[in-house]
Chain A
Amino acid sequence: MRYLLLLFTAILIFPCIAAADYKETFEKEFLSKPWAGEQLEEDACISCHSSDTMKQQYRAVVEEWKASWHAQNKISCHDCHGGDPKDATMSMSPQRGFVGVPKAVEIPEFCGKCHIAILKNYLESGHGKAFKSTGKGPNCVTCHGSHRIGKAGIDIINEQTCTKCHSYDRARGMKQALFVVEKKMGELESDINTLKGEGIFVDEKERALFSTQAEFRALFHTVDVSLVKQRTDEFTKRLGLIDKEMQDIFRELRFRKNFSAFLMLLFTGMGVVIFVYSKLPKE
């Protein structure tokens, strides 16, 4: 009997020892399946631009992009520059829409391919008009960079960036005007993340918040302080509605915790009573 047992235990050990090359076989057997976790995508742009034969300045682009908000949202090279990412021979072909590096004067339209509302406001703004007429002035890359584009935030307005052409006073005024709404949006964003962590499905509220954020930040690009101040109330009200819903949810979560704690205490109490009762001497 014991030999039978030892034999079966050995059966278990053997494959573990034989599993020395499990990683390769696992990758072949499982990772090739469509559901097998990480999607190993073949991106021709990135393969070439990160290879050792590429010049350092081009390799750096890939690293910068990887750290960007675009990369996190799966926007890659071809989405802006065109070309075919799946076919290395056509990856830089004009036939597949490749446009290469935009000329400085074309930068706003390059980014504005997707960011339509912002382009519209920018072209009507002081910044846009100055840039288009003189070729000097801020364009998208000036404040946001070209590849290491971070998530939008109020600190993109700072002394370093905004004093290249004029004094910081104007920028400071704008930053102050934006401050209240931006702060509220930040709070709501972190509340939404908290709720997600608590298991609440907040898709609708996320969308409402994003829509408000996008509109507010597109508005900023007019660089018109009075316009921003004028519309601050409207935005604050919209955000207030979202906030109220979230506070309701938080309250509900607190109630749930208390209720289930109450039930837990009831059962614990009953357990204690039963235990003590069972230990009492019989009559």
Chain B
Amino acid sequence: MKRRGFFKLLMYLLGSTTFISFCYPLLRFLAPPGSEASIKKLVLLKAEVPSGKAKSIVLNNMPAIVINRPDKGFIALSKVCTHLGCIVEYDRDKKILLCPCHAGTFDLDGNVISGPPPKSLQRLPLRIEGETIVIG
């Protein structure tokens, strides 16, 4: 009798430990930490980026560039090349973005013109509010 009681107790202990070991992760799973605060926005003045020029910025640890295209207006693109991750450079005269690693070329919309990159540069959300540009 004592033995049965002992094992029953052991079973309840192990069972409840298991149950709690699933409940705790479940609760953490359903309530993830508020890591969304890390997505920051960047505000620039229109005057900082005159027509034809560009400004390099860093958004959420990602190097990016804001270009004021004479024909199509502002655009914010990630500077990380989609080939292997090198940082592209803006060539104002040729109106392209050129990757120094393997000569991947992108146009000012971020689309691939030539070279090994498999897809276009990531476009960042950009809004114009009055005299400011808000990126992100």
Footprint of B on A, CB under 8 Å?
A: 113-117, 120, 206-211, 214-215, 218, 262-263, 266-267, 269-270, 273-274, 276-277, 280, 283
From residue A210, how far is it (CB to closest CB) to chain B in Å? 5
Q: Are A116 and B100 in contact (CB under 8 A)?
A: yes
Residue of A whose beta carbon sits closest to that of B98: A116
- In-complex Cβ contact of B85 among A116, A208, A277, A280 (8 A): A208
Q: Decide if B47 is an interface residue (CB 8 Å cutoff).
A: no
Q: Are A215 and B21 in contact (CB under 8 A)?
A: no
CA distance A116 to B104 in the complex (A): 10
CA distance A147 to B80 in the complex (A): 29
Describe B's contact surface by its main secondary structure. mixed
B4-12, B30-38, B49-57, B128-136: which one contacts chain A?
Answer: B4-12
CA distance A266 to B3 in the complex (A): 20
Q: Decide if B126 is an interface residue (CB 8 Å cutoff).
A: no
Q: Are B86 and A214 in contact (CB under 8 A)?
A: yes
Q: Are A116 and B103 in contact (CB under 8 A)?
A: yes
Number of residues on chain B facing chain A (CB within 8 A): 24
Residues of B within 8 A of A208 (CB): 85
Most chain B beta-carbon contacts within 10 A, residue among A113, A114, A206, A273? A273
Describe A's contact surface by its main secondary structure. helix
Q: Are A117 and B100 in contact (CB under 8 A)?
A: yes
Q: Are B7 and A277 in contact (CB under 8 A)?
A: yes
Residue of B whose beta carbon sits closest to that of A204: B85
Q: Answer whether A218 and B100 are a contact pair too, CB < 8 Å, given A207-B85, A211-B84, A273-B14.
A: yes
A120-B100, A274-B11, A280-B7 known; 14 new pairs, CB 8 Å cut-off, are A114-B102, A115-B102, A116-B98, A116-B101, A210-B84, A210-B86, A210-B101, A211-B86, A214-B100, A214-B101, A263-B18, A267-B18, A277-B7, A283-B4
Residues of B within 8 A of A214 (CB): 84, 86, 100-101
Q: Are A269 and B4 in contact (CB under 8 A)?
A: no
Residue of B whose beta carbon sits closest to that of A115: B102
Q: Answer whether A211 and B4 are a contact pair too, CB < 8 Å, given A115-B102, A117-B101, A266-B14.
A: no
Residue of A whose beta carbon sits closest to that of B61: A241
Residues of B within 8 A of A273 (CB): 7, 10-11, 14
Footprint of A on B, CB under 8 Å?
A: 1, 3-4, 7-8, 10-11, 14-15, 17-18, 21, 80, 84-87, 98-103, 115
Residues of A within 8 A of B10 (CB): 273
Residue of A whose beta carbon sits closest to that of B80: A207
Residues of A within 8 A of B11 (CB): 270, 273-274, 277
CA distance A283 to B103 in the complex (A): 83
CA distance A266 to B15 in the complex (A): 8
Residues of B within 8 A of A210 (CB): 84-86, 101
Q: Are A276 and B7 in contact (CB under 8 A)?
A: yes
Residues of B within 8 A of A207 (CB): 80, 84-85
Q: Are B85 and A270 in contact (CB under 8 A)?
A: no
Residues of A within 8 A of B8 (CB): 277
Q: Are A280 and B4 in contact (CB under 8 A)?
A: yes
CA distance A218 to B103 in the complex (A): 14
